[in-house]
Amino acid sequence: METTKDFFDTWIKSQERIVDNLTESRKKIQQALWGLGSNGEGMSGFGDFQNIYSSWTNAVMNALRDTGTVDINVIRETLSKTLSGSNAYLKLYEIWLPLVKAIREKTVSPDAYKDLTDPVKHKEMLDRLFGFDPDAVSQAASQARKFLETFTGSVQQFMKPWAAASEKSSKTFPTLVEGHPESLMKIFHDMFEAFDSTIGRIFHVPAIGKDREKIELLLRGIDDLSVYLAKNIEYQNMMYATGLGAFEKVVESAAEKIKSGEESITFDEFFDLWVKVNEKTYYALFQTEDFSKMQGELLEASLNVRKHFFKLMELYLYDFPIALRSEMDDLYKTVYEMKKRVKGLEKRLGEVKREVTI
C-alpha cells in the first residue's frame, strides 16, 4: 500500500535523525554529567537531549498527516495529544531543571521558587494546556483592519495603531505572570488611547449614506472585540496567577518531602505531585462564583464578536447570488414547521384509521 510505504520511508528517515541527535546529545550529556554545578554550562546538554523528541515527533506527525479514514483520525489525534502531553511533561522538565541545579547546589528553598521558575516557560505550558492563543487577538484585530481596508481605501492606515496596541498587549502577558497586576491597567491605557485616537475619529466623519450601516456595525464589532480582549486578559491573568500559586505549593511540598527525610523524589513523582496540586488548586478556583461569572462574561464577549462578524459578512455578501445565513435559517424554520405539521397529520391519520378498523 502506497500510504504505508510512504509512512515507513518517513519513519526510517526520522529514526536516522534520532540516532544522529542521540550521538550528538550523548557527548553533551557526558559533559553535563561531568560539568554540572560548576558553571551551569552542562545544562545546555539537556536542551539538546530533548530536541530528540521534537525532531522525532515532527517526523511522526508528518508521516501520519495524510492518511485517511476515521479511525486513523482517532489514532492521529491521540498521538498528537500524547505528544502534546509529553511536550508539556518535558516543558515541566525544563522548569524543573533550574530547580535541579539548585538542589545540586543545596540553595533551593520554597521562598526562592520564583527565581527558579521561568515565567515565560510556565506561561507557554499554561497556554498549551488551556488553549490560549496569544496570536488570536492580534489576528482578529488584523482581520478587522483588513475589513476596513477593503471597505474604503481612505482609511487604510486607520486601524494600524489600534492593532499594534493589541499586539503589544498580548505580549505583556509574561509580565502579568510575574505578578504585576498594575500592568493590566497599562494594557487598557495603551489600548484605549490607541482606540480613541483612531476609531474615535470616525464619529466626526460626515454620514456616508447606505454604507453607514456597515461602518457602524464594524465599529460595534471592534468595540465588542475590545470588550472581549479586556475580559480575556482578566481571565488569563486569573489562570496564570492560579498556576503560579499552584507551582509554589508544588515546590513547597517537594521540599517538605525531602526535608522530612524521604529519598530524593523522581521526576515522575514530581510530575504526579504537580498534576495533583494543580488540579486541586484550579478546582478551588473553578468552584468560585467569581470564576463562573468571569467565564460566562468571557463567553458572551466572544459570542458578541462572532455575531457581529456574521452580520457584517451578510451585509457585504447581500448583493451576491448566494443564500445567506439568515435566509437559510428562515428556510430551516419553514422545513422544520412543515415536517412537524406533516408528522402530526400522519399520526392523526393513523389514529383515525385504527378507530375506523375497531
Partner 1 sequence: MKSPFETFNMKNYLKELSEVNTKLIKGTETLVGIDEIDVGTAPKELVYKEDKLTLYHYTQEGKVTCNVPVLIVYALVNRQYMLDLQPDRSIVRNLLQHGLDLYIIDWGYPTKADMYLTLDDYIDGYLNNCVDVIREKTGNDKITLMGICQGGTFCGIYSALYPEKVKNLVTLVAPFDFSTNDGLLFSWAKNMNVNALVDTYRVIPGDFLNAGFLMLMPFTLNIGKYVDMLDVTQEKESLLNFLRMEKWIFDSPGQAGECLRQFIRDCYQGNKLVKGELKVGERLVDLKNITMPLLNIYASADHLVPPAATRPLNNLVGSTDKSLYEFKGGHIGVFVGSKSQKELAPAISTWLHERGNEEPVKKNP
Which stretch in 177-185, 208-216, 225-233, 288-296 sits in contact with partner 1 by CB under 8 A?
Answer: 288-296
Q: Does 53 bind partner 1 (CB under 8 A)?
A: yes
Q: Does 232 bind partner 1 (CB under 8 A)?
A: no
Per-residue cell: 207 = 454620514
SS3 205: coil
In the range 247-266, which residues lie near partner 1 by CB under 8 A? 255, 258-261, 263-264, 266
In the range 305-344, which residues lie near partner 1 by CB under 8 A? 306-307, 310, 328-329, 332-333, 335-337, 339-340, 343
Contact yes or no for 243/174 (Cβ under 8 A): no
How many angstroms separate the CA atoms of 124 and 174, rounded?
A: 9
Whichever of 211 and 272 has its CB closer to partner 1, that residue is: 272
Q: Does 217 bind partner 1 (CB under 8 A)?
A: no
Exposed, middle or buried: residue 253 (CB in 10 Å: 0-12, 13-18, 19+)? middle
Q: How far is the CA of 257 from the CAs of 254, 260, 264, in angstroms?
A: 5, 5, 8
The one-character DSSP state at 323 is -
Whichever of 150 and 326 has its CB closer to partner 1, that residue is: 326
Residue where the block lists cell 530533548: 50
Identified binder of partner 1 from the candidate list 74, 208, 342, 349, rule CB under 8 A: 74
Which stretch in 75-83, 148-156, 158-166, 210-218 sits in contact with partner 1 by CB under 8 A?
Answer: 75-83
In the range 82-141, which residues lie near partner 1 by CB under 8 A? 82-86, 88-90, 93, 100, 103-104, 106, 108, 129-131
Identified binder of partner 1 from the candidate list 286, 317, 323, 345, rule CB under 8 A: 286
In the range 4-23, which residues lie near partner 1 by CB under 8 A? 7
- What is the full DSSP assignment across 155-188? GTTTTHHHHHHHHHHHTTHHHHHTT-THHHHHHH
